[in-house]
Amino acid sequence: MKKYGIFGGTFNPPHIAHLILAEYVRSAMSLKKIIFIPSGNPPLKTSTNIIDSIHRYNMAKLCFEKNKNFIVDDIELENLSVKSYTIDTLKKLRERYKNQNIEFYLIIGTDNFINFHKWKEPEKIFTLCKVIVINRPSYKFEKGSNKFKNRVIRLKVPDIDISSTLIRDMIKQGKSVKYLITEEVEKYIIKIIYIKTNIILWNQKITKIINLKTNLENYLYLIQ
């Protein structure tokens, strides 16, 4: 039986810690492949800083698929109007890979494990896959629900304190993110910023033209 890992996240943006940890887990657990799933409409995340799903998906493919053992799947991006629950994603994956003799391993960090009891039908998740919990800096496994502690596989991984939030903040501050993200992802982000900046500038120009036209019309009306 082939063993496939499932690594979900917003990937906003994907970075080297994702790469390092995924490969570490793949090797340690003898997984044949890792499936990366950019989140569609995550129920427990309400941040307005999550960029469009198409950009996160594109960056994930650029970042991960240079490794032949990594796959990026858009399964949660097919319908963004509904919440993306892990239990539903697992059911779809099992259907997608049926008859391929695959055993799934869901990879989550201790930050997610702490809130695992809040997930939709957490008990049923164990009937669809095995769950691997990896350590995350500043999050304690002990804070997770006792109900699930003996049902997961704990795996110690290197502590890498790099996050997408850190990278976004550095970009906003004009700092270099070289080596924190891959060169391909960095180029993609620069492209997005360039396009957005030009759209903003173009909209500002249009607004000025409209304002000038309105002022001119008002002036002509007054001198009639």
| Cα–Cα distance measured from residue 137 to residue 140, given in angstroms and rounded to the nearest whole number | 8
CA distance 178 to 188: 13
pTM (2 d.p.): 0.85
pLDDT digits (tens, 9 = 90+) for 112-150: 999 999 999 999 999 999 999 999 998 999 999 999 999
Residues with pLDDT less than 50, the chain:
199-202, 209-210, 212-213, 215-222
Tokens of 220: 């002509």
* Torsion from C-alpha of 118, 122, 123, 129, nearest 10 degrees: -160
